Amino acid sequence: MRIAINTGGGDAPGLNAVIRAVTLSALANGWEVFGIRRGYDGLLEDIPNGVIRLDRRAVRGITHQGGTILGTTNRGNPLKWAQKGPDGEMIEVDRSGELIEAFEKRGIDVLVAVGGDGSLSIAAGLAKRGLKVVGVPKTIDNDLDSTLTTFGFHTAVQTATDALGKLHSTAQAHRRVMIVELMGRDAGWIALFAGLGGTADVILIPEIPYDIEKVCEKVESRYRGDRGFCIVVAAEGAKPAGGSASYVEEAKAGRAARLGGAAETLASEIEERTGHEVRSLVLGHLQRGGEPTAYDKVLALRFGTAAVHLIEQGHFGCMVALDPPEILAVPLEEATAKLKLVPTHGEIVQTARRLGVSFGD
Ligand code: F6P
């Protein structure tokens, strides 16, 4: 058996642990393992060492490393490949046939596709076209529906919570409102967990559109008491009631729209309305970098090993999913059918509210 592994979409701490787990458990079966570089680019584009052999040596000591030794991309979708059309404009073409041929030519029997919503939807499309695929869920956003959680999320929350801890002292020293923009795309999981753990006063998430007046009321209440400072966490997808999220780049061929600007907009609105000094910051890609937490390492190692176990059983077209205490297999189509958003009346939101957190509603 010859299997290949690739990592697609935005990186997430724990990718290397999956690569190591897949490689070691496949080698133990006497299989050959290959890594495809930069998503599918290693098979579709002329890049040096596009497909590399993974042996014990190649995956030694990588569990603790962030990033991915294979590289990744959130561009190259083989089903909707962006390229210049006859008139020089960007168009999308389907290169899946060429890709499946490339797998056959190299004698690769099965692909382990490690990715988030986008990459796993691509994997589902390839499975439909006949490729044997097993998916492994990855995303710091925690927005994949069929798994309790994804690796990368815990690390991102830890990084963001640490940042909030540091912001408290400077906010207090200057009697300022500090607004922190956190990642998560259309889901507020990172903002909710980090905001709760980092004791933010206001948490704004896409699932609960905010009223700026309510946000300012909470800010003012912090200055009426003896606190005199306020920490606001805004998910990058946070939006005012009746309005839309803030973007820095529109969607174009082969690329999703890029969110950004939520914290900056809030900062000027809050400063104007309350007169308090406000500073905003965007934590950005720091949330995706660095060593995975122990939780994410263990989850990634479990997922990688479970993926190989599914291949042993001849179970394809599915994704491994955490359903404690088990790791289960879920059909890729089902796993990518909808995003997992924060339940607005769920226990975690209620807990935050009982602790005095304002969601600006
Ligand atoms: O999906 C992961 C994620 O980090 C989102 O939270 C964020 O919106 C996006 O990727 C950023 O993507 P890029 O790396 O292209 O800036």
List the domain boundaries for the chain: 2-151+292-335, 155-289
Counting from 1 in the atom list of ligand 1, the atom nearest the Cα of 288 is 4
Q: Is 221 in the pocket of ligand 1 (CB under 6 A)?
A: no
- Residue 255's pLDDT is 79
CA distance 255 to 343: 28
The DSSP bridge pattern shows strands 90-93 and 51-53 to be unpaired
pLDDT digits (tens), the chain, 361 positions: 999 999 999 999 999 999 999 999 999 999 999 999 999 999 999 999 999 999 999 999 999 999 999 999 988 899 999 999 988 898 999 999 999 999 999 999 999 999 999 999 999 999 999 999 999 999 999 999 999 999 999 999 999 999 999 999 999 999 999 999 999 999 999 999 999 999 999 999 999 999 999 999 999 999 997 889 999 999 999 999 999 999 999 988 777 899 999 999 999 999 999 999 999 999 999 999 999 999 999 999 999 999 999 999 999 999 999 999 999 999 999 999 999 999 999 999 999 999 999 999 9
Q: Ligand 1 center to residue 122 CA distance, Å?
A: 17
Measure Cα distances from 215 to 152, 168, 189 in Å. Answer: 30, 18, 19
Q: Can you give the three-state secondary structure of 233-255, one letter per residue?
A: EEECCCCECCCCCCEEECCECCE
Distance (Å, rounded) from C-alpha 3 to C-alpha 54? Answer: 10
pLDDT tens digit string along 266-281?
Answer: 999 999 999 999 999 9
Number of H helices, E strands in the chain: 11, 15
| pLDDT value of residue 76 | 85
Buried b (16+ CB within 10 A) or exposed e, 146-182: bbebbbbbbbbbbbbbebbeebeeebeeeebbbbbbb
Tell me, yes or no, if the two domains 2-151+292-335 and 155-289 fold the same way: yes
Angle of CA points 247, 343, 355, to nearest 5°: 95
Closest CA to 270 of 196, 310, 214: 214
pLDDT at 252: 82
Q: DSSP assignment, residue 284?
A: G
pTM of the model: 0.97
**CB-ligand 1 contact for 155 (6 Å cutoff):** no
CATH number of 155-289: 3.40.50.460
- Quick one: how far is CA 22 from the chain centroid? 20
Report CA(349)–ligand 1 centroid distance (Å): 24
Shortest-distance atom of ligand 1 to CA 184: 6
Please state which CATH number belongs to domain 2-151+292-335: 3.40.50.450
141 catalytic, yes or no? yes
Radius of gyration of the chain (CA): 22
Binding site membership of 304 for ligand 1 (Cβ less than 6 Å): no
> The tokens of 108 are what?
């690769």
Q: Are strands 230-235 and 177-182 parallel, antiparallel or unpaired?
A: parallel
Pairing of strands 326-331, 318-323: antiparallel
Indicate if ligand 1 lies below 6 Å from the C-beta of 138.
Answer: no
Q: Could you read off the pLDDT of 283-318 as tens digits, one per residue?
A: 999 999 999 999 999 999 999 999 999 999 999 999
288 within ligand 1 shell (Cβ under 6 A): yes
* Given the residues 11, 41, 141, 143, the one annotated as active site: 141
